[in-house]
Structure 1
Amino acid sequence: MAEGDVDPYPQVFVIDSQANYVSMPGEKRTRWVRSGQKFILLLVGLALLGLVVEGCFIYSLYKKTEGGTILSQVGSKDSNEIRRHLEDIQQRPFAQLIGSATYIGENNEVQWEDKNGETVTHNMGFEKGRLMVKEEGYYYIYSKVTLNVAEECMLIQHKFMKATSAYGKDIELLKSKSYRCFKPTRSPITHKEDIRNSFLAGIFYLQSGNTIFVTLENSPRMSPKRTEYLMGAFMIYKGGTLQE
């Protein structure tokens, strides 16, 4: 080809796909960082394991020497006191009553059963639907009633009352008020039924000779299952009133 002539075909460069790639320094740096992290985690794990072993060793040594001796001395000195405390707990008054077949008595008082079913009275009296307190102290008292309120509109009042000779009238401890109106539907069920529950509970100071009872004003029909309404009490602190 003469000088000055232009080659009509461009030159072709061939890339060898089998050529080895040269690794960059960044890859080595990443590998070293990962190895360092694993090594640090290993050291932290060994340190934590050492602390656990040391703690177990100190606890074992404490039980064998002074700590174990002190605990055994305290246990021997206070064993009688602990036994007396457990006996006191076992003798604390408590009671639980279920509903009676008569449901409501005079003055809207709910009637209770104290002998049949899941009922119990321990160091407490029972007479005419009322629990009688024999030992003064702080009591947790509770009452639950199940009602069918499918009646005309009415204000239902569920109360926990206390009677004492120190006052001329009964004292209201707890009260729940509920205004119910039955709304008829197009349901094929022929009988009207709207079951509701009312629950009262609290802690009160009761003296020997006090009586506690439950009233239900404007009461609708009560549940036919007597186990669905309860009254109970149990002592949580024995003695006089607490001082600040």
Structure 2
Amino acid sequence: MSEGGVGTCPQVFVVDSQASYINMPTERKPRWTSQLQKFLLLLVGLAMLGIIVEGFLIYNLYQKTKEFPLSSPQHLYQNLSNPKAQSQVGYRGDSNEIPSVQTQTQQRAFAHLLGPSNSIGEGDVVQWVEEGDAVTQNMKYDKGRLIVEREGYYYLYSKVQMNAGEECVLIQHKVMKKTKAYDHPLELMQSKSHRCSTSRPIRLTSSEPEDLWNSYLAGIFQLHVGDEIYVTLKNIQKIRPGPSENFMGAFMVSP
């Protein structure tokens, strides 16, 4: 077109139909979402399994309880109204009556001995006293020895007090057991001390010096029916008599 023309021609754009289109990325779900779904499905599966197992156990327990005979409420009340039956528990398989079974408290054996009044015994065996606060239940006492009547584990203890103020003396405190399984006594516990009079001034009100020695022994042991438990004391003549200074005891802690 000449320079004096009215205007320039518009530009023409050509569209290439062979050009490839750009694919836009599709939206993806986060990875943690799929993992959370799998975890929830696992929890649901475990919960269902637990319900099935619990139902199976309850069914078995129900079947077992049907085998036990039950007494009527009226009959049970009549038995419990009897004072002798208040300490009885359990049922018999062939009857609705409550059997005569002692309570656990009545089955426990125990003893507490005081003393001694006459301390000298054969073989240095301490002779205890069954008077006053002394008590024995389901155990026998004979000449310083406790005789076991019920097998089980027992807590044994003994305390003695001696005066070693006059001269040097060997004091030996032992808890012994005589059982049918051995030909000789067994030593369960021991305390030993070599005591001499001290250089402390003697009180004018006292006729003889005092150097008191205390020994306490305790422990748990298995005892059988017929076992004998006793205490021996070397130089037993120097023991200070009295129920609070000297005692021996035993009580069952487990059958």
Shorter-chain TM-score bucket reads 0.5 to 0.7
Instruction: Tell me what 1:131 maps to.
Output: 146
TM-score, normalised via structure 2 length: 0.57
Letter in structure 2 aligned against 1:157: Q
More strand by proportion, 1 or 2? 1
Equivalent-residue separation in structure 1 for 2:116 and 2:203 (angstroms): 33
Q: 2:212 aligns with which of 195, 198, 201?
A: 195
Instruction: Tell me what 2:83 maps to.
Output: none
Instruction: Tell me what 2:160 maps to.
Output: 145
On the 8 A contact 1:99/1:229 being kept in 2, the answer is yes
Count of residue pairs brought into register by the alignment = 158
> In the TM superposition, what are the counterparts of 1:1-244 in structure 2 within 5 Å?
80=89, 87-114=103-130, 116-189=131-204, 190-219=207-236, 221-238=238-255
More helix by proportion, 1 or 2? 1
Note the aligned Cα RMSD (angstroms): 2.2
Letter in structure 2 aligned against 1:105: G
Structure 1 residues 211, 188: CA separation in 2 closer, same or farther (over 3 Å shift)?
A: closer
Letter in structure 2 aligned against 1:91: Q
On the 8 A contact 2:202/2:208 being kept in 1, the answer is no
Equivalent-residue separation in structure 2 for 1:186 and 1:120 (angstroms): 41
Per-residue CA deviation, residues 66-123 of structure 1 (Å, 9 max, x unaligned), is xxxxxxxxxxx9x957xx9992133200000001311120100000112x11100000
Partner SS state of residue 227, structure 1 = coil
Equivalent-residue separation in structure 2 for 1:111 and 1:220 (angstroms): 12
TM-score, normalised via structure 1 length: 0.60
Per-residue CA deviation, residues 215-237 of structure 1 (Å, 9 max, x unaligned), is 00133521132332001000001
| More deviation, 191-200/205-214 | 191-200
Partner SS state of residue 147, structure 1 = strand
Partner SS state of residue 244, structure 2 = helix
Structure 1 residues 188, 131: CA separation in 2 closer, same or farther (over 3 Å shift)?
A: closer
What is the CA distance between 1:179 and its match in structure 2?
1.3
Give identity over the alignment, percent: 48
Letter in structure 2 aligned against 1:204: F
On the 8 A contact 2:166/2:208 being kept in 1, the answer is no
What is the CA distance between 1:196 and its match in structure 2?
2.0
What is the CA distance between 1:151 and its match in structure 2?
2.4
Letter in structure 2 aligned against 1:100: P
Letter in structure 1 aligned against 2:132: G
| More deviation, 184-193/161-170 | 184-193
Partner SS state of residue 89, structure 1 = helix
What is the CA distance between 1:146 and its match in structure 2?
1.2
Partner SS state of residue 236, structure 1 = strand
Structure 1 residues 100, 91: CA separation in 2 closer, same or farther (over 3 Å shift)?
A: same
Partner SS state of residue 107, structure 1 = helix
Letter in structure 2 aligned against 1:191: E
Equivalent-residue separation in structure 2 for 1:216 and 1:124 (angstroms): 23
What is the CA distance between 1:141 and its match in structure 2?
0.3
